[in-house]
Structure 1
């Protein structure tokens, strides 16, 4: 699924997966990093992949 530009602009951008994982470790809910197809940096999401 492609990230909408408006969503990308609202989210925190992390330079690497490691930085995003460190931020996710301090969260109250389970979060996972993903590479954004708009800015090519990493964001966090609470959505679970369903395949």
Structure 2
């Protein structure tokens, strides 16, 4: 599914997945980075439906 332009415009953009993960850790929330198909940078999302999650993250 393609990211809507309005969603992309209001989210923070990160140059790499590593930078996005650092921002997620600071936020203290269970967020994961993804590459946006609109701006080709990384955003954070809390959605996990249909996404592979490492087993260690389930128990942390």
Q: Which runs of 5+ in 2 are unaligned?
A: 52-60
Q: Larger relative CO (CA 8 A, sep 6+): 1 or 2?
A: 1
CA distance in 2, matches of 1:20, 1:10: 15
Q: Which residue of 1 aligns with 2:14?
A: 14
Which of the two has higher C-alpha Rg?
A: 2
Q: CA RMSD in A?
A: 1.2
SS state at 1:19 partner: helix
Higher helix share: 2
Q: Give the unaligned 5+ runs of structure 1.
A: none
